[in-house]
A and B are shown apart, each in its own frame.
Chain A
Amino acid sequence: MLFHRRPSRLLVTSLVTFSAAALVGCGAPGASGGAPDRFVVIDAEELGRFNPLTGHGGNGESKIYESLYRVAEGQDDRIPDAVPVLAEGAPEPVDGDLGHWRVKTRKGVTFSDGTPFGPEDVVATYNAVVDPKFASPIAANFDFLRTAQVSGPDTVDFLLNGAYGDVPHRLFLAIAPSESLAAPGPADKLPLGDHPVGTGPYALTELRPDQVVLTARDGYWGTKPQVKTFVVRRTDDEKARAAQLAGSADGTRLSPALARAVAKDGYRTVVSKANDWLGVTLPSGNPVAGDAAVRLALNLGVDRGAMVRDILQGEGTPVSTLVTPLFGDAYDPAQDFTFDADRARKVLDDAGWRVGADGVRERDGRRAQFDVAYYPTETLRRDLTMATVSDAKKIGIEMKPVAVEKSTMTPQYLASTAFLLGGGGQPYTVDTQLYPKFHSRYAAKGVGSKWDNASDYVNPEVDKALEAARVERDPAKRAKLYRDFQAAYHAAPGMLALVAENHVYVLRDNGWQPGATALEPHSHGVAWGPWYSLARWTRK
């Protein structure tokens, strides 16, 4: 097969240094290919695929489509507000029923093909995403939704599968015209992917295999963007992206180290907070990893601060309970684990895990040893796995790293093997972050996805807090319930959460004033970072 050899670390380092020197050497960078109202970026993702049902614009980040609500930018110390876009005002429960919500849709909006936007388009898009015939890869994000209905000339009703309190933060799906979804079939075959039709500020004017051009369109209902043309190119190798940045591009996403190397002389970095977390599952089905004392000791014994400093180059935060400072009032810093190896050893001693001759603990003839599986293709996962293994060794627990492929990860395998897990797909409600991860519903065999509560953790107090918060509409009371969850979890943790990484972007300083960044989900690309607010950029 066609795989080239990976260049060695030394070569890469020297290339980075060289490219940084080259960038410095070439003085002030030129303007963006000449045009002042154009911005050129390099993405790492495949170009095209402008289809809401395959995940495009799923958090309101699309430039072509709009959603009922989008994430507010500039709020990363709490859950960002849901800003109405195609909606008028917030969703309201009908007659106080949390299983039935009504949204008023905006009037006077037209799609880029000239057809008027109305509630039927919202209904068609939401019903398509949950319709198995469309086989939408993001259907699972809408498992709370039973169906959507047109309930008036400009209102839509959402009928849910049960009571749910924080619906406003779940309605970020990009809206397509109902005509484009008339014929059900696998989502990836819809013409929308190459011929998008949306209500957003930009329209697709060119789609080539090497380039996408978005142009600010006439007839947009809102304020016309000042950046008239947005050009997106693609290169999946980040070293090549860094080199191309010096040529004719104005921005891209890079890893922290590379970003710092190239962000000189006319370029600067923009860091977005993201809820892109990583941690290790500690399955109940494994006699060592699932042991309460081992779970607690590992949480005390890993140095999360060092992981952020050394592995993430400072661009991230330690995570203990999956509730982080990003969640504002719901976050209780007192419930985070502080690194304390001595206390970790004491916890193990008290529980009867005695250090053996080779430094590994034992209890009743069982060694404190278990495998930890990880995907070797992602360097960050690999590095975090190795750091965890080394910290665990210091408190007498032997974790053996095992490199695995995605196809190895069957539910049976996960039930007894610790795994370095990543998450944070939709960080705009605390519920989506916690409920599927820790509620004992998902500990039962065959319930939910294999990734839901992958440690099969059962804690009645945790269940109680999560259930009550899910149906609580008052944000203050809901936050209090999530603080209760953290206290219950802290006393008896069910996994080993480690860190969340920020996303780092580099852009050319060429007279534009980008808006603040929005809190980002696990996904990232040139729709995010400073470009989330592209339509609202101004000149300095």
Chain B
Amino acid sequence: MYVAVAAGGFRRYATYRAATAAGVFTNTVFGLILVYTYLALWDVKPHLGGYDQAQAVTFVWLGQALYATLAIQGGGFETEFMERIRTGEVAIDLYRPADLQVWWLANDLGRAVFQLLGRGVIPFTFGALVFPTALPHDVGTWLAFLVAVALAMVVSFGIRYLVALTGFWLMDGTGALQALMITGIFCSGMTLPLNAFPGTLGEVVRVLPWAAQVQVPADVLMGQADPLPAFAFQAVWAVVLLAAGRLLQTAAARRVVVQGG
């Protein structure tokens, strides 16, 4: 059943072809702007964060490819889920013979896979063709990268599920979504690779769950990190976040019952 839910999530986004094409265009434009600023930065400071210029460029295009996939700034299932919480329709979902968390996870994974294929591949290919990039030649590294991306999808879901659940207490999700935007952009490396962050700030952001989203897959792809410890880092965060979501969901479900009766 959850496979069908995921397929539904995939198909739903596949319907909007013009929107997808527009997204590809936008990601390419932003990628171009970022690439030039990174090149200027690495020009002044070669090997910043242990990357050479080609690696910095690769990082930019990976970020653009994963931006919609991992819903870095939001824009996944959470808006709809929060709306259902606000209107109370979530009560119906709770009575369904499906697990709420797994149901939304399946839905969001379907969306993420579509965004990766629909919005990710083209900007990335463009970037790799036009600029010198640091891409591996062996299939194994690419497979490891895909595993890292899959784990990143789960971590991303875990974070957004927690944010969405705050809707049970806050009702208005504007503030929570804004916080999601800020942390997503800043802590996942969309503005600057996390290994180029200075000092203590850099050490802190590299152990936060957001690091599992762009930084870790990028380092796996470019051979900067060993796959197994990288997977372990992502998996630990995925489990912790999903468990926290499960706990919060139980508390929230009780709240719905209290309100209803």
A and B together in one complex: no
Give the interface of B toward A (CB within 8 A).
none
Give the interface of A toward B (CB within 8 A).
none
